[in-house]
Amino acid sequence: MSVVPAGALPAGVLTAEEAAPPRPAALGPRARLWPSLAAVYRAQLSRARVARIPLLFVATFQSVGIMILMRGVVDGGGEARAVVAGSSVLVVAFVALNLLAQYFGQLRASGGLDHYATLPVPPAAVVLGAAGAYASFTVPGTVVTAVFGCVLYGLPLAHLWILAAVIPLAGAALAGLGAALGLLAPRPELATLLGQLGMSAALLLGVLPPERMPEIVRLARDLLPSTYGVEAFARTFAPHPDWAHVLADLAVCGVVGVISLAVATWAYRRAAVR
Amino acid sequence: MCAVRGLTKTYPAVRGRRGVPATPEVRATDDVALDIGRGEIFGLLGPNGAGKSTLVRQMTGLMRPDSGSVEILGHDIVRHPERASRILAYLGQESSALDDLTVSLAAETTGRLRGLDARQARAERDAVLDELGLTALASRPLRKLSGGQRRLACFAAALVGERPLLVLDEPTTGMDPVARRAVWSAVDRRRAEHGTTVLLVTHNVIEAETVLDRVAVLDRGRVIACDTPNGLKEQVAGEVRVELVWREAAPLHVPEVAALRDRTVESGRRWTLRLAPEEARTVVATVTGGAAFAALDDFTLATPSLEDVYLALGGAVRQGLVKA
Ligand SMILES: Nc1ncnc2c1ncn2[C@@H]1O[C@H](COP(=O)(O)OP(=O)(O)OP(=O)(O)O)[C@@H](O)[C@H]1O
Ligand SMILES: [Mg+2]
């Protein structure tokens, strides 16, 4: 209950009754999808540059280290292609999945989502902007890893341009997954844990040659969104790449990306209004 | 402009887990009704945990109330929470969404997400940073700023892209007097030029006294008083505040002093009493003469401020005379 004394207002201030508009007042403008996506992307990319550069180094060194270790186990052939492709995509997984899950988990727990939720911005712009920024942030690390791997294992550098398709597509799939995990996890520690697990999965299932794995692990590998990106990339190292298969793998990757970003957008909507 | 009726929100009880104690159910908003007029600076005053943030989060569409209604400029915010973002600008207690951005990018991005085009957003950003004296800090990330500077930068972001209602949750926490003045003159300017309404959460009573047109005092989710600062002060007008500062410990061996003890709010060497004027005179006479005087360091006698109202209305939370 409250006491609202009429006439207690200072002079010049309207009372609620006088001010009550006969019909709802006009609303402010809505932010449109593309401009706000671009704004979020730009802000997130600068965020990542300020705060996450050391982590990109960690991600790259991790992948380079794995390739050096595996050098003793595999020698050339399909296995070497899988290791190089898997290690490169692992950089994407580290940043887009693991770090984005952490970011959204913390943002949600600290009340930071309130900032976006009180701005007239489409949820998709926030999720896609952040996912896109994290994915582009991985580009230098992924390229360095891929080039180093090719040199180390004597693979051709000719078709590395395929990374221009692999990074955005695998990035979309992994970033969507990471954002969804971060936004859905009930606690930020859990979001961090899920992100780490997702990355470990990408490491085990993406880098280790599938031929040596039991059936059940191979099934799990087929379910991981990054797998198709890894496969597409690995195929391009062949002397005469099978472009139809490459395209098919990338298409699957793209579809998974669209689905996982849609799930992340739904998760954001759900997390923003409690 | 803004009407709240019967608003109620209960946080559910949380079962304890290992290392995390259970928390009971909390009724954070309890049948609250408010009316805020256009152009008003309306304050919510209350102790920590009184439910101020919970109340404004429901009014900004961030949280769905269990029951009750919120209407802002004719829009039903409970049914259409997404409309809130097109009517009001909200400055929350947390800044984590902006922490890694530079001051300038935080303001510009917020403006763009409030629907401004790139040119407008940059122009408004420059104007607001200049108005608040933040231009020199524009290229520094918020994380690297002091607490008060960071708060001011978040306030700047809230001002980019004009809105008829500003909802500010403790905007001046940690700010020095210069920054505070910048905040209040920015608010005043918007009120004078556009008739902007402000809903302000605070527990700074001095601020409340100087900037607010009206104030609602919140205690455990309920509005226990709502009036102009002067109107509230009149509720405790019959009282005088006496502050005694002892040199070391209070001279409890003096019977008159010992008798005062259970009516006192003690904080270290400082005793605060709220008394009727007649009584206050007696107390002052007692401590300034006789045996107690040797132990006295300083004393003041003051007419009630909003702080006294706040303490007096604070109910069970503290001792003190409830005389409302
Ligand atoms: N997410 C939550 N879950 C459970 N209880 C909560 C939650 N948030 C707040 N509370 C409880 O609800 C009550 C009101 O909290 P609220 O944050 O609204 O207080 P406040 O008046 O804003 O305090 P402060 O001045 O410290 O900001 C408190 O008792 C608090 O413990
Ligand atoms: Mg609060």
Ligand nearest to the CA of B44: 1
Handedness of CA B118, B119, B122, B123 (dihedral sign): negative
In this structure, the number of other CB atoms found within 10 A of the CB of residue A138 comes to 29
The ipTM value here is 0.82
CB contact under 8 A, A25 and B74: yes
B110 contacts in chain A (CB < 8 Å)? 115, 119
Q: Which candidate from A27, A43, A121 shows the least CB-CB separation from B83?
A: A27
Taking the C-alpha atoms of residue B110 and residue B105, their distance in angstroms, rounded to an integer, is: 8
Question: How many Å lie between the alpha carbon of B177 and the closest alpha carbon of chain A?
Answer: 25
Taking the C-alpha atoms of residue B245 and residue B271, their distance in angstroms, rounded to an integer, is: 6
Residue A97 CA, distance from chain mean position: 5
**H or E segment and range at residue B209:** helix B205-211
Residues A141-176 have pLDDT tens digits of 999 999 999 999 999 999 999 999 999 999 999 999
Are the C-beta atoms of B199 and B44 separated by less than 8 Å?
A: yes
Q: Which of B312, B315, B308, B319 has its CA nearest to residue B242?
A: B308
pLDDT tens track, chain B, 324 positions = 899 999 999 999 888 777 778 888 999 999 999 999 999 999 998 888 889 999 999 999 999 999 999 999 999 999 999 999 999 999 998 888 998 899 999 999 999 999 999 999 999 999 999 999 999 999 999 999 999 999 999 999 999 999 999 999 999 988 999 999 999 999 999 999 999 999 999 877 788 888 899 999 888 899 988 999 888 887 776 778 888 898 888 888 888 888 888 888 888 888 888 888 888 888 888 888 878 888 888 888 887 777 777 777 764 444 332 332
Q: Give the start-to-end residue ranges of the domains of chain B.
A: 2-230, 238-303
- Ligand 1 center–CA B28 separation, angstroms: 7
In ligand 1, the atom with minimum distance to the C-alpha of B221 is: 14
- Ligand 2 center–CA B169 separation, angstroms: 7
CB contact under 8 A, A112 and B231: no
Q: Is A4 helix (H, G, I), strand (E, B) or coil?
A: coil
Candidates A18, A118, A187, A274: best to mutate against B (most CBs of B within 10 A) is A118
> pTM for this structure?
0.83
A11 contacts in chain B (CB < 8 Å)? none
Interface of B with A in 221-280 (CB under 8 A): 222-223, 225-228, 231
Q: Is B257 helix (H, G, I), strand (E, B) or coil?
A: helix
In CATH, B2-230 is 3.30.70.1230: no
Q: Which of A203, A195, A228 has its CA nearest to residue A97?
A: A195
Where are any strands of DSSP class E within chain A?
A: none
Are the C-beta atoms of A182 and A195 separated by less than 8 Å?
A: yes
Closest alpha carbon within chain B to A115: B97
Are the C-beta atoms of B100 and B142 separated by less than 8 Å?
A: yes
Taking the C-alpha atoms of residue B261 and residue A183, their distance in angstroms, rounded to an integer, is: 53
Q: Give the start-to-end residue ranges of the domains of chain A.
A: 32-272
CB contact under 8 A, A39 and B113: yes
Q: Which candidate from A2, A39, A115 shows the least CB-CB separation from B112?
A: A39
pLDDT tens track, chain A, 274 positions = 344 443 343 444 444 444 445 577 888 888 899 999 999 999 999 987 766 788 888 889 999 999 999 888 887 788 899 899 999 999 999 888 899 999 999 999 998 999 999 999 999 899 999 999 998 889 999 999 999 999 999 999 999 999 999 999 999 999 999 999 999 998 889 998 998 898 888 887 878 777 777 888 888 888 888 889 999 999 999 888 899 999 999 999 999 999 999 999 999 988 887 6
A28 contacts in chain B (CB < 8 Å)? 86-87, 114-115, 161, 163
Q: Which candidate from B40, B143, B227 shows the least CB-CB separation from A5?
A: B227
